[in-house]
């Protein structure tokens, strides 16, 4: 009983964390990342770092002006195309070899020096285009692994700031939530039921799903006169609870979605209830009456089959009545 109670409290808390994390991720992907063009800018920063062109006025600029790269841009035919947020490795390698060849033909055409990693490209002697392409593609892919780490750290910072604003605005206090769902059986059961329905759905929910989810947790969040701290130490606990929620939300929706599925699977595979029927009854013996007036009775174990009639008796000491 105690284990089930604690597990249900944990499920309700994880369900709240997952919903807030989903809300932060949705706002970031649909609003902030698009408005700031975050993916494209992070990719451009990585390419500038690769080509030793921090200002973006030399090799990086020539690369983005190459038709292979410019064709990937949004509104490429306009005067101010939007730089791409993704560049395939093979397209990057071909465009870079063209840029390096043009640079070596006219060194004054670029304002930044050629990186040492590109010194062997574009040489007139011993040109092996296939090997050069493979080398550049590997260099690009290795760099993009680091660029992906940059992007994740930026997104995590944005999620943390968004989470702090949402948590404080909606009063999503971890300590208060634990207290509420621990003491209120109805709310705890409702949260567990909602979590059970959400555990089977994908973690990238839409706006309608998020709205429905927040309607289900509105009893444990939100500001009210009764939720305002009464003294200094109550404010300290309130701040600790809000920060705990913020740090939990910054872990991301996939983390809480996976943890919720594990909790629900553990809850579903609990110990089955024990039967109160008592010890099993002794086996019933059967008396086989064989045809014939002078035949003696034969006692057979349960399940035995003979060519006589079967009469169930409670005790083998009882004798049949013969005529």
Which residues, other chains included, contact 117 with Cβ-Cβ below 8 Å and sequence gap of 6+?
A: 139
Q: Exposed, middle or buried by CB within 10 Å (0-12, 13-18, 19+), for 320?
A: exposed
Residue 270 has pLDDT above 80, yes or no: no
Of 156-160, 225-229, 278-282, 298-302, give the lowest mean pLDDT range. 298-302
Q: What is the pLDDT of residue 247?
A: 96
Residue 235 has pLDDT above 50, yes or no: yes
Q: What is the pLDDT of residue 78?
A: 63
Q: Helix 185-198 crosses helix 174-183 at what angle (to 10 degrees)? A: 110
Mean pLDDT of 204-217: 76
Mean pLDDT of 193-211: 70
**Which segment, 129-133, 160-164, 268-272, is predicted with the most confidence on average?**
160-164
> pLDDT tens digits for 80-108?
778 888 999 999 988 888 888 777 777 66
**Which segment, 91-105, 200-214, 253-267, 278-292, is predicted with the most confidence on average?**
253-267
> pLDDT tens digits for 137-153?
888 999 899 999 999 99
Residue 70 has pLDDT above 60, yes or no: yes
Average pLDDT over the chain, rounded to an integer: 77
Confidence of residue 321 (pLDDT cuts 50, 70, 90): very low
Residue 312 has pLDDT above 70, yes or no: no
DSSP assigned state of 226: G
Q: How many CB atoms lie within 10 A of CB 72?
A: 19
pLDDT > 70 in the chain, percent: 71
Q: How far apart are the first and last CA of the chain?
A: 63
* Predicted structure pTM score: 0.70
Mean pLDDT of 119-145: 75
Distance of CA 169 to the CA centre of its chain: 25
Task: Output the DSSP codes for 61-119.
Answer: HHHHHSHHHHTTSBTTTSSSPBPPS---HHHHHHHHHHHHHHHHH-GGG-SSPPPGGGT
Domain ranges of the chain: 2-10+156-268, 35-154, 282-314
Residue pair 288/298 in contact by the 8 Å Cβ criterion: yes
CA distance 234 to 228: 9
Residue pair 79/56 in contact by the 8 Å Cβ criterion: no
Which residues, other chains included, contact 57 with Cβ-Cβ below 8 Å and sequence gap of 6+?
A: 111, 112
* Residue that wins the pLDDT comparison between 264 and 128: 264
Task: Select from 115, 122, 151, 148 the least CA-distant residue to 28.
Answer: 151
């Amino acid at each position: 009983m105690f284990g089930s109670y604690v597990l249900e409290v944990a499920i309700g808390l994880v369900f709240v964390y997952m919903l807030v994390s989903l809300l932060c991720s949705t706002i970031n992907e649909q609003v902030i990342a698009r408005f700031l063009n975050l993916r494209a800018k992070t990719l451009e920063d990585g390419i500038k770092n690769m080509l030793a062109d921090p200002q973006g006025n030399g090799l990086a600029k020539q690369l983005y002006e190459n038709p292979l790269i410019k064709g990937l841009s949004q509104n490429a035919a306009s005067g101010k195309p939007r730089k791409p947020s993704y560049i395939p490795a093979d397209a990057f390698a071909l465009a870079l070899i063209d840029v390096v060849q043009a640079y070596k033909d006219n060194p004054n055409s670029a304002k930044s020096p050629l990186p040492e990693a590109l010194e062997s490209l574009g040489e007139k002697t011993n040109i092996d285009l296939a090997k050069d392409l493979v080398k550049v593609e590997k260099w690009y892919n290795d760099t993009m692994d680091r660029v992906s780490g940059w992007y994740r750290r930026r997104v995590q910072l944005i999620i943390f700031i968004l989470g702090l604003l949402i948590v404080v605005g909606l009063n999503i206090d971890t300590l208060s939530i634990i207290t509420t769902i621990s003491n209120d059986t109805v709310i705890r059961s409702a949260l567990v039921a909602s979590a059970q329905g959400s555990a089977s759905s994908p973690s990238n929910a839409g706006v309608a799903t998020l709205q429905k989810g927040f309607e289900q947790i509105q009893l444990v969040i939100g500001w009210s006169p009764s939720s305002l701290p009464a003294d200094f130490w109550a404010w300290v606990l309130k701040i600790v609870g809000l920060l705990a929620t913020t740090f939990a939300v910054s872990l991301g929706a996939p983390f809480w979605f996976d943890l919720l599925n594990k909790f629900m699977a553990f809850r579903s595979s609990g110990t089955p209830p024990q039967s109160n029927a008592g010890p099993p009854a002794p086996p019933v013996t059967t008396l086989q009456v064989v045809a014939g007036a002078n035949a003696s009775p034969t006692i057979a174990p349960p399940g035995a089959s003979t060519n006589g009639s079967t009469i169930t008796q409670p005790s083998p000491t009882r004798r049949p009545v013969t005529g």
